[in-house]
Amino acid sequence: MTAYMDHKDLANEIIDQARAQEIADGVHRVLDRIAAAESAAGREAGSVRLLAATKTRDVGEILAAIDAGVRMIGENRPQEVAVKSAGLAKRLEEHGFSLGVVESDAAAVTGAAATHIPFHLIGQLQSNKIGKVLPVVDTIESVDSIELAEKIARRATMRGITVGVLLEVNESGEESKSGCAPSHAIDLAKRIGSMGGLELQGLMTIGAHVDDERTIREGFAHLRRTRDQILASGAEGTSGCTELSMGMTHDLAYAIEEGSTIVRVGTAIFGERAFI
Ligand SMILES: *Cc1c(COP(=O)(O)O)cnc(C)c1O
């Protein structure tokens, strides 16, 4: 199915020095771009967090990014989460970090004061894969229907855990994209907020795939207004709906000016992907 997984060993932990340096340079450039955009928008330094989008990257590449300052990661595919998470968690523990729900529990037991690296799922989730990601990810950013939210809630409740969710909204209306219709977002957010086992943390969108700056910004601005309306509703379980996950390699400055709190960046950190 995912052919590249046959060509690249995603569990590989050792990369050469030149590659590690390339990734560190990428991280530093992106952190500089974020700081410049925060400043240009008159926003507080550090108000936007960087999530490294790690699809197609191996454990060694992800560790290099974390060593260079990345403090949040996101995977697209449950299969990649499954292949990488154990090795990643183990190596991170050696560096004083914890990853995933299971690892943080282990850290709590041993009393280790590890810095937690939030692990997000940012790609589409089929309901038969929920069990695969729930023990590992802190937040699922790609929840776009009541049916999916209910299935995740049921699984989380069975495990006695609470999982963070972002409601994904298809602001551009492009058919290739997942996400709920913008007109349904407020109603869906209220219903998700009232479900046990889920913690509604905010909204997510993917910017319009166009060159026109105004069109891209309008989608981001609309997501921000939607978030503000959800917060203002005072509905049960919506007071924590604060995050706006928007902005990627090519549009992160626009997103930050429109209020983004999390930018998801792959290419600008790791280089072009050899696989889709
Ligand atoms: C791949 C991906 C990103 C990062 O995209 P880049 O253009 O490589 O920065 C962000 N969000 C999602 C959902 C992705 O799949």
Q: Is a pLDDT exceeding 50 seen at residue 244?
A: yes
274 within domain boundaries: no
pLDDT band at residue 100 under the 50/70/90 scheme: confident
Contact yes or no for 122/81 (Cβ under 8 A): no
Q: What is the pLDDT of residues 107-142, one digit of tens each?
A: 455 555 789 999 999 999 999 999 999 989 999 999
Give the pLDDT score at 191: 98
CATH code for the domain in which residue 167 is found:
3.20.20.10
Q: What is the pLDDT of residues 51-94, one digit of tens each?
A: 999 999 999 999 999 999 999 999 999 999 999 999 999 999 99
Residue where the block lists tokens 């695969």: 132
Check pocket membership of 265 for ligand 1, CB cut-off 6 A.
Answer: yes
Q: Is a pLDDT exceeding 90 seen at residue 6?
A: no
Q: Is a pLDDT exceeding 50 seen at residue 103?
A: no
Strand, helix or coil at 190?
Answer: helix
273 within domain boundaries: no
Average pLDDT over residues 224-252: 98
Best residue among 122, 168, 172 to mutate for probing ligand 1, ranked by most atoms within 8 Å of CB: 122
- Looking from the CA of residue 55, the nearest atom of ligand 1 is 1
Check pocket membership of 53 for ligand 1, CB cut-off 6 A.
Answer: yes
Q: Count Cβ neighbours within 10 Å for each residue of 105-140 and write b for 16 or more, e otherwise.
A: eebeeeeeebebbbbbbbbebeeebbebbbebbbbb
> What is the Cα gyration radius of the chain?
18
Range of the domain at 152: 3-102+113-265
Give the pLDDT score at 224: 98
Best residue among 223, 248, 250 to mutate for probing ligand 1, ranked by most atoms within 8 Å of CB: 248
Best residue among 264, 272, 275 to mutate for probing ligand 1, ranked by most atoms within 8 Å of CB: 264
136 within domain boundaries: yes
108 within domain boundaries: no
Q: Is a pLDDT exceeding 50 seen at residue 104?
A: no
Give the pLDDT score at 135: 87
Contact yes or no for 254/40 (Cβ under 8 A): no
Average pLDDT over residues 9-35: 97
95 within domain boundaries: yes
61 within domain boundaries: yes
- Looking from the CA of residue 123, the nearest atom of ligand 1 is 13
Give the Å distance between the CA of 106 and the centre of ligand 1: 31
**pTM of the model as a whole:** 0.95
173 within domain boundaries: yes
Q: Is a pLDDT exceeding 80 seen at residue 4?
A: no
23 within domain boundaries: yes
Give the Å distance between the CA of 86 and the centre of ligand 1: 23
Q: By alpha-carbon position, which residue is closest to atom 2 of ligand 1?
A: 53
Q: Which two tokens stand for residue 9?
A: 């060993």
- Looking from the CA of residue 249, the nearest atom of ligand 1 is 9
Check pocket membership of 179 for ligand 1, CB cut-off 6 A.
Answer: no
pLDDT band at residue 254 under the 50/70/90 scheme: very high
What domain count does the chain have?
Answer: 1
Give the pLDDT score at 120: 98
Helix boundaries (H) for the chain: 4-7, 17-40, 59-67, 78-94, 100-110, 130-133, 146-159, 185-193, 213-233, 252-257, 267-270
